[in-house]
Each structure stands twice: as structure tokens, then as C-alpha cells.
């Protein structure tokens, strides 16, 4: 059996176990829900109504926030065939007139009830099993609900259904380049199509093109005459579009590469209509036969919420024409306190990618029309200048102090004096002594070296890691540096600094009296300081490459990302250095409690750092330790572990974030690919502790420590 098949069997077995505990609870607590029912003069024996099942689940599970979540949970059991509609319908309906039966005899659902009676299960044991089963169904519910919505006939989808599909299309690779309006139209026409067996031919080369396909689950092989297998397409990719656009035969044969493949299909008629709608709502400005600005009409809600208004969104264009269009849309009849137009802020935050300050600043000087009377020219020039001043004001408001790192912007704004943010750089010598310099945060390595060494000296820069390995480097960022004052003395005997080797004993004694809530609160306070120190434009510099933007710095962002790794390895380090089995189990329990509080505080960065630390192989292999963790605590950990599931473009994480209201601290690595009085310790000690973690970041060493404790 393939690993995928084994995973499927394992998951189905867990779903069956969950179904048994839910059925057992239903029989014990509300057996009257399963009874003979009548609808439209027809009788249905021993069944439940969809509405009754949803009502029962809502009362049973306090974590359910909406009826649609409960519908998703029941849909999981419908998809597995454990409960069936009396008319064999595939979708679960939250209605009084839709009836469902549990297939007790086929799946042995009563087996658990009989087993519990025989073993004299306690109420606590039954409740734990029930909560574990409900937790699994709750985790799988959103995917089942989405598939259910996609299976509906497009004409039967509600506004809420369309919004769910639209939200998913935002994260589908094939739809990434499409505009908002196109995605919304696609949500209304997409058809769900599934095929059970690998080797199924979806269409053959030479066939007439009838549909465009997006792979929702699985993969396909693309085969052509003469060449054989050309490529393999996976989840999120698409095919079949070319034949529709060109009205030509299929250029290749598509064969399913694996079992149980799901597709989102757009039929030709809808595809062509959407293309025509896009064209009808698109305005193109051309100069010398080339498009210099492309705008698309979009609906937006009035500020008063009274209705929709039409406005044009920039889709593409030359930087100069986009700037010209944005200036035309700037409103002068406001008090200046209104929010910046998202299009304007997007342009200003990203302009250095396609229009550096050396191009942006001169473009704002030209405001003279070529036609009209002198009076009209003067009025136009005055109006444009006022708009430029307002745009520049918005630019300054967005960038604030960061504009001081851009000499062209400084000259343009005629600012002559400004302060300088400093950052402490440590330059380590091979004898493990250090020299401290105070230099700007964006100082280059060359400038750091120049300020330290004598001109003309023989110096090299060495990067040293925690394993004791060293290498010459040409790095340009001023991270911790090791400068060898005599290049000839570089030898294999270089050893890591003591600080790099990490601690050799646990700090459990220091913080075992600390309350998990207080530790989590200090983690969040410090993370919030780091997070708010970042500027949005640092993300732009980081993603496109800081080296492309002279003078730019991403130091605050990099520090925040580094913090994630620091917290993650703090968890692993503390567990692997705790040699007492009982204390180690208490430590795991405490970290899980810290994770609970971090999630409650909406600090997703440290929450996932703690979870990744607990999921580290050096911690996971400590079976004896995990056996001593209370089952209730382990159940919480397992529920949180599912949020780390990377499938469907980290859909589990996205759904969790969608339920949060700002402010919250996001899981930054993924974006880049209550204070009780403390009784027995000074809060400042906790603050100092969480800001100065000592960790071991050498995975090999951590694994060795783990094996030494539990072989």
C-alpha cells in the first residue's frame, strides 16, 4: 500500500471511531431523536431530521460558533457513508424535512456502547472520548462543508456559499492572477467534478475543448503524441484553457495520476461569458499602439453603506501613468483626516519596486497642460499641485522616519537634519573577546570593518555556526561578525563562542514557579514590541530582496522572524535539558498551557513557535514523558497540532485567523512562504527571562540529549 492509502485508511478509522462515540452519546442522552417520521404522506423508519442533529450537536459542543460548523461535522460522516440521506442525497441539510439514518449494523456503531457497558466505562472516560471524537469532526468539517458547497448546482448556491468559494479562490494558484470581479464570477459558475480511479482519461488530444479545469485535489499527467509524458500538474494548477480561448482542439491528453481526484470545472459557455464581461468592464489607455494603463470597473460599497458605487481599479500600466491616474482620483474636498485610498497606499508602499524615488520625485514636477487658455492652464496647474502636495503628505505619513534612509526623498522634501537610529554591533575576535560599536542599523559590513580595522590590513570575514564550522563570507548585512585580524591565522581550530554553544543545564528551577499565563503574557508583550517596530515596507524589501533597495533595512522584520526560531528552540532546549522524568512531563504540560494562553491572546507567532517546538523530533520521541502527560492536556495539544496542517495552502490556519478580530500577531514565517498578579516572583524577572532566552539551536545536539534521557 502507498503511504497516501495508509493515511487514508488511518483517517477513516479515526472517523469511524468518532462516529461510534457520537452515536453512543446520542443513544444514551437523546434516543428519541431516532424515530419513525412522516413527510408528504410518506413514512421513513428510524431516522433523524437534519435540524435535530444540528441542534443536538450545538448543545453538545461549546466550541461551535455557527450552525454551518455543525453541518460540516455531519457532512464528514455523510461523505464516509456512516450516515445516509433517506433519498441517497450527497449533501447534509439543516432542515426539519430532510432525514438521515445511521448505518449501525454496517459500521458496528453500537459496538462501542456494548463495549462500554461491559468494561464499566466511567462518565469521565466517556466524556473524554466524546470530546476527542468531536474535535476530529470539527477539524475536518470545514473541508467537508466546502466540498458540499462545491457539489451544489451553481444556481442553488446562497450568497454565503459564494463568499466561501470566493475566499478559497484567493488561495488557489491558478486564480492568483485574476481580479476580484473575475473570482466572484467564477465562484458562481464553478462545478465540482470527481473521479475515483487513477488512469482515468479526462480528455484526449484532438478532442473538442468544452471546459477549463482547476485541480482541487490530486494530480494529473499531461501526455502528447510523439513526446509521451510532458509534465505533471498538481493541486492548485489548471489546464484546458487554451482550447477555449483559441476555439481549437485539445493539444494534449490528460490522465489521472492518482485515485480520488477532485476538479473545479468551468464550462466553455461560462468561460467565454466571463471573458466578455471582463473585456466590457475594462478600459485601456494606449499610446503609440501600446497599452500604458489598464483599468477594470469594480463595485464598492458607499461609505454610508447605502449602496454600491462603481469605481475603476488599476490592473496594470506604466508607473508614470498609474501615478497620473492616482493623482486624478485624489480628493481635495476633505479635511485631511480621511483614510488613505488603498490603491494609493499600495502604490506608495511598493513604488521602489518599479519606480524608485529618483523617478517618482521628478514626475511630481510636471503639471502643465498642453491645451486651453492661460486661465484654464493656471487653474489646472494649481489643482494638480494641491493634489501632489496631498499625495506627498500621504507618502510621508506612510513612511514616516523611514524616508530618512532615502537621500533622494530627503532632498526632495528639503529635510536637512535628522536623527539616526542606532544598532549595537558585536565584532568578535578569535580569542572570544569582543569590541562594541554603535552604528546605524543599516550600516554595511564593509563600513563596520572599516571603522574597526587599520586601513590596508590583511583582514577576512568569517561566519561561525554553533557546530564549530567556519567559512569565509562575503556577506553584506551586519549580523554578529567575527573578524580575523590576521588572515593568515585562519585555521581549523576555530571554535564557537560559548554563547553559540547554548546552555548546558535547564532553567526549570528558575521558572517552574512562574504561572503559564504570566509567561505567555510577557511573551506577547515582547512580541508586540517587536511586531509594532516593523514597517509594512520591510515586507516589500524582504520579499523582493533587500539588496535591490540601496539604503533600505529589514532589521526589525528579521529580528521578529528570528524571535520565532528563538522561542521554538527554547521549548526544545528546556525539555531536552530536563533530566527528571516527572518534571519533564510537568514541563510539557506547562508548555501546552502556555500555548493555550498565547492562542487566547491572539499571539499566533509565539503560539506556533511553541507548537513547532513541541513537535520537534527530539521532543516527540520522548514516549515515556508523553505517557505521563494528562490525556485532557494531550487532547488540547492534538487539537492545536491540526492547525499546523499545511494542506490546501494552510487552510486550517487561514480558517483560524478568519475568526479573529484585530489586533493580533500573525504567524510571520508563514506570511513570508490577561495579567494575573504574580505571587512568588517579580514580574520584571519574567520579562527579563522571556527576552533573554538561552537556547541550543543545533538539532543534532538536541537529538543526542533526547536519546540520552530516553533510549
Residue ranges of domains in the chain = 3-146, 159-276, 318-413, 422-497, 508-709
Strand 422-428 to 481-484 pairing: parallel
> Is residue 627 reached through a cis peptide bond, with omega within 30 degrees of 0 on the bond before it?
no
Q: What is the mean pLDDT of residues 653-661?
A: 84
What is the average per-residue pLDDT within 280-285? Answer: 84
* CA distances in angstroms from 330 to 22, 60, 343, 350, 545, listed in the order given: 59, 54, 11, 18, 31
* pLDDT confidence bin for 304, thresholds 50/70/90: low
**CA terminus-to-terminus distance, the chain:** 30
CATH level 2 (architecture), domain 3-146: Orthogonal Bundle (1.10)
pLDDT of residue 14: 83
Write out pLDDT tens, residues 148-161.
999 888 998 988 89
Q: Tell me: the pLDDT tens digits for 106-140?
A: 777 775 555 555 455 667 677 888 888 888 898 88
Evaluate if residue 702 carries a pLDDT over 80: no
pLDDT at 66: 83
Give pLDDT tens digits for 421-476. 444 455 555 555 666 666 666 666 677 777 766 655 556 666 555 555 555 454 54
Q: What does the pLDDT read at residue 215?
A: 95
pLDDT computed for residue 270 by the predictor? 94
Question: Assign residue 260 a region: left if phi > 0, alpha if psi is -120 to 50, beta otherwise?
Answer: left
Q: Which three cell numbers stand for residue 658?
A: 478568519
- Give the pLDDT confidence score for residue 120 in this predicted structure: 56
The pLDDT tens digits for 241-250 are 989 988 889 9
CATH class of 318-413: mainly alpha
Q: What is the pLDDT of residues 184-196, one digit of tens each?
A: 999 999 999 999 8
| Side-by-side strand order, sheet with 470-472 | 434-440, 422-428, 481-484, 460-464, 470-472
Q: How far apart are CA 381 and CA 656, in angstroms?
A: 51
Architecture of the structural domain at 159-276: Sandwich (2.60)
Contact 678, 514 (CB under 8 A): yes
CATH topology of domain 422-497: Ubiquitin-like (UB roll) (3.10.20)
**Of 75-79, 140-144, 418-422, 518-522, where does mean pLDDT reach its minimum?**
418-422
Output the pLDDT for position 487.
Answer: 42
**Number of CB atoms found within 10 A of residue 35's CB:** 13
Q: Which pLDDT does position 706 carry in this prediction?
A: 73
- What mean pLDDT is predicted for residues 645-671? 84
Between CA 654 and CA 187 the distance in angstroms is 19
- Lowest average pLDDT, out of 270-279, 288-297, 396-405, 566-575, goes to 396-405
* Class of the CATH-defined domain 508-709: mainly alpha
Q: How many CB atoms lie within 10 A of CB 100?
A: 22
Q: Is the pLDDT of residue 202 over 90?
A: yes
Return all residues near 683 (Cβ < 8 A) that are at least 6 apart.
518, 522
Model confidence band, residue 55 (pLDDT cutoffs 50, 70, 90): very high
Question: Is 327 a residue whose pLDDT tops 80?
Answer: yes
Sign for the CA dihedral angle at 657, 662, 665, 670 comes to positive
- Contact (Cβ atoms closer than 8 angstroms) between residue 236 and residue 269: no
H or E element: which one contains 12?
Answer: helix 3-29
Compute the mean pLDDT over every residue in the chain, rounded to the nearest whole number.
80
pLDDT of residue 125: 73
For residues 520 and 652, which has the higher predicted lDDT (pLDDT)?
520
Amino acid at each position: 500500500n502507498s503511504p497516501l492509502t495508509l493515511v487514508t485508511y488511518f483517517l477513516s478509522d479515526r472517523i469511524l471511531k468518532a462516529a461510534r462515540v457520537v452515536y453512543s452519546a446520542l443513544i444514551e442522552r437523546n434516543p428519541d431523536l431516532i424515530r419513525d417520521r412522516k413527510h408528504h404522506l410518506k413514512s421513513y423508519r428510524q431516522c433523524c431530521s437534519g435540524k435535530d442533529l444540528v441542534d443536538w450537536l450545538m448543545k453538545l459542543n461549546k466550541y461551535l460558533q455557527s450552525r454551518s460548523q455543525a453541518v460540516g461535522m455531519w457532512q464528514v460522516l455523510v461523505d464516509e457513508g456512516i450516515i445516509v440521506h433517506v433519498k441517497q442525497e450527497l449533501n447534509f441539510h439543516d432542515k426539519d424535512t430532510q432525514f438521515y439514518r445511521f448505518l449501525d449494523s454496517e459500521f458496528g456503531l453500537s459496538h462501542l456502547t456494548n463495549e462500554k457497558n461491559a468494561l464499566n466505562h466511567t462518565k469521565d472516560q466517556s466524556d473524554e472520548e466524546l470530546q476527542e471524537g468531536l474535535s476530529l469532526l470539527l477539524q475536518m468539517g470545514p473541508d467537508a462543508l466546502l466540498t458540499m458547497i462545491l457539489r451544489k448546482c451553481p444556481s442553488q448556491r446562497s450568497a454565503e456559499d459564494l463568499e466561501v468559494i470566493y475566499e478559497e479562490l484567493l488561495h488557489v494558484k491558478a486564480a492568483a492572477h485574476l481580479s476580484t470581479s473575475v473570482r466572484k464570477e467564477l465562484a458562481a459558475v464553478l462545478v465540482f467534478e470527481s473521479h475515483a480511479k487513477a488512469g482515468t482519461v479526462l480528455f484526449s488530444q484532438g478532442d473538442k475543448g468544452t471546459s477549463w479545469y482547476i485541480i482541487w485535489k490530486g494530480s494529473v499527467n499531461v501526455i502528447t503524441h510523439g513526446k509521451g509524458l510532458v509534465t505533471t500538474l498538481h493541486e492548485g494548477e489548471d489546464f484546458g484553457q487554451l482550447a477555449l480561448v483559441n476555439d481549437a482542439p485539445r493539444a494534449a491528453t490528460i490522465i489521472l495520476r492518482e485515485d480520488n481526484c477532485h476538479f473545479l470545472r468551468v464550462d466553455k459557455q461560462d468561460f467565454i461569458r466571463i471573458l466578455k464581461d471582463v473585456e466590457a468592464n475594462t478600459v485601456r489607455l494606449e499610446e503609440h499602439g501600446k497599452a500604458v494603463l489598464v483599468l477594470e470597473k469594480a463595485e464598492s460599497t458607499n461609505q454610508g453603506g447605502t449602496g454600491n458605487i462603481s469605481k475603476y481599479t488599476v490592473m496594470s500600466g506604466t508607473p508614470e501613468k498609474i501615478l497620473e491616474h492616482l493623482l486624478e482620483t485624489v480628493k481635495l474636498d476633505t479635511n485631511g483626516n480621511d483614510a488613505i485610498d488603498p490603491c494609493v497606499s499600495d502604490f506608495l508602499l511598493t513604488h521602489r519596486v518599479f519606480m524608485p524615488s529618483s523617478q517618482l520625485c521628478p514626475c511630481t514636477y510636471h503639471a502643465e497642460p498642453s491645451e486651453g487658455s492661460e486661465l484654464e492652464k493656471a487653474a489646472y496647474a494649481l489643482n494638480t499641485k494641491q493634489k501632489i502636495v496631498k499625495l506627498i503628505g500621504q507618502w510621508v505619513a506612510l513612511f514616516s522616519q523611514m524616508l530618512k534612509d532615502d537621500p533622494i526623498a530627503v532632498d526632495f522634501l528639503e529635510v536637512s537634519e535628522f536623527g539616526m537610529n542606532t544598532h549595537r554591533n558585536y565584532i568578535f575576535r578569535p580569542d572570544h573577546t569582543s569590541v562594541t560599536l554603535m552604528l546605524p542599523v543599516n550600516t554595511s559590513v564593509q563600513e563596520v570593518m572599516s571603522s574597526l580595522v587599520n586601513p590596508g590590513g590583511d583582514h577576512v570575514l568569517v561566519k561561525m555556526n554553533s557546530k564549530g564550522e567556519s567559512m569565509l563570507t562575503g556577506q553584506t548585512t551586519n549580523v554578529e561578525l567575527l573578524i580575523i585580524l590576521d588572515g593568515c591565522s585562519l585555521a581549523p581550530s576555530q571554535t564557537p563562542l560559548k554563547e553559540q554553544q547554548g546552555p548546558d543545564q535547564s532553567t526549570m528551577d528558575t521558572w517552574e514557579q512562574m504561572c503559564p499565563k504570566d509567561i505567555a503574557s510577557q511573551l506577547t508583550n515582547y512580541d508586540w514590541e517587536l511586531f509594532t517596530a516593523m514597517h509594512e515596507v520591510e515586507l516589500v524589501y524582504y520579499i523582493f530582496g533587500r539588496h535591490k533597495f540601496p539604503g533600505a533595512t529589514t532589521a526589525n522584520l528579521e529580528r521578529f522572524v528570528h524571535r520565532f526560531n528563538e522561542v521554538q528552540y527554547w521549548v526544545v532546549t528546556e525539555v531536552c535539558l530536563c533530566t527528571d522524568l516527572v518534571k519533564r512531563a510537568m514541563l510539557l504540560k506547562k508548555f501546552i498551557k502556555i500555548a493555550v494562553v498565547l492562542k487566547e491572546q491572539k499571539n499566533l507567532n509565539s503560539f506556533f513557535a511553541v507548537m513547532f517546538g513541541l513537535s520537534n523530533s527530539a521532543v516527540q520521541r520522548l514516549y515515556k514523558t508523553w505517557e505521563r502527560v494528562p490525556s485532557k492536556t494531550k487532547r488540547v495539544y492534538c487539537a492545536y497540532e491540526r492547525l499546523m496542517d499545511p494542506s490546501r495552502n494552510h487552510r486550517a490556519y487561514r480558517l483560524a485567523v478568519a475568526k479573529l478580530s484585530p489586533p493580533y500577531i500573525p504567524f510571520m514565517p508563514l506570511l513570508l512562504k490577561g495579567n494575573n498578579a504574580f505571587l512568588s516572583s517579580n514580574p520584571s524577572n519574567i520579562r527579563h527571562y522571556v527576552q533573554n532566552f538561552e537556547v541550543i539551536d543545533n538539532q543534532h545536539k538536541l537529538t543526542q540529549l533526547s536519546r540520552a534521557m530516553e533510549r
